């Protein structure tokens, strides 16, 4: 259905959040490749909250929804910087993962955010031992 929607030029663009979750306003996590497999033009938007008057980030493992809502509703303001970036299309020979990473990098640069190579699943689950071992090997090679 997404491919049909994108192919129909009379339809409006679809709003998709390819990270699949939110993070603490400092980083951009790995994008899900599905959004980049359907073709069409991507209209990237970089969004970053300014915590000067109130922090919009909800650490759900630390605060329940009631305390979060209370904190948000009693904030002076929730200020958000939004950058509408130039449209991007998939390059010839570029697969969906490469395209997703290119868009993610552009958004991270624009918002002054750190790029993370993992997805939002790590917010709720333990890091796999194989991933830890791989990072330990890389670190020992550096030393």
More confident position, 100 or 34: 100
Phi, psi of 49 (to 5 degrees): -80, 140
Q: What tokens appear for 122 in the block?
A: 């790590």
More confident position, 36 or 122: 36
Q: How far apart are the first and last CA of the chain?
A: 50
Query: Among 114, 113, 106, 100, which residue's Cα sits nearest to residue 85?
Result: 106
More confident position, 53 or 136: 136
Say how far apart CA 140 and CA 4 lie, in whole Å. 49
Say how far apart CA 41 and CA 9 lie, in whole Å. 11
Residue 142, pLDDT > 80, answer: yes
Q: pLDDT-derived band of residue 1, with 50, 70 and 90 as boundaries?
A: confident
Per-residue model confidence (pLDDT) at position 122: 63
Highest mean pLDDT among 18-22, 36-40, 85-89: 85-89
Enumerate the domain spans of the chain: 1-44+85-142
pLDDT tens readout for residues 78-90: 888 999 999 999 9
- The stretch 18-30 carries a mean pLDDT of 79
Asked if residue 104 lies in contact with residue 32, where contact means CB atoms within 8 angstroms, the answer is no
Per-residue model confidence (pLDDT) at position 35: 83
* Percentage of residues of the chain with pLDDT beyond 70: 94
Q: pLDDT-derived band of residue 121, with 50, 70 and 90 as boundaries?
A: low
More confident position, 24 or 138: 138
């Amino acid at each position: 259905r997404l491919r049909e929607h994108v192919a129909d030029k009379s339809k409006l663009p679809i709003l998709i959040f390819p990270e699949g979750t939110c993070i603490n306003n400092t980083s951009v996590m790995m994008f899900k490749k599905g959004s980049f497999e359907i073709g069409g033009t991507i209209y990237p938007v970089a969004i970053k909250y300014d915590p000067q008057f109130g922090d919009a980030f909800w650490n759900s493992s630390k605060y329940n929804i009631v305390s979060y809502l209370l904190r948000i509703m009693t904030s002076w303001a929730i200020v958000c910087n939004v950058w509408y970036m130039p449209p991007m299309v998939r390059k010839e020979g570029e697969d969906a993962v490469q395209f997703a990473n290119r868009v993610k990098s552009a958004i991270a640069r624009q918002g002054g955010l750190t790029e993370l190579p993992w997805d939002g699943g790590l917010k709720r689950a333990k890091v796999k031992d194989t991933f830890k071992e791989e990072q330990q090997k890389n670190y020992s090679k550096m030393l």
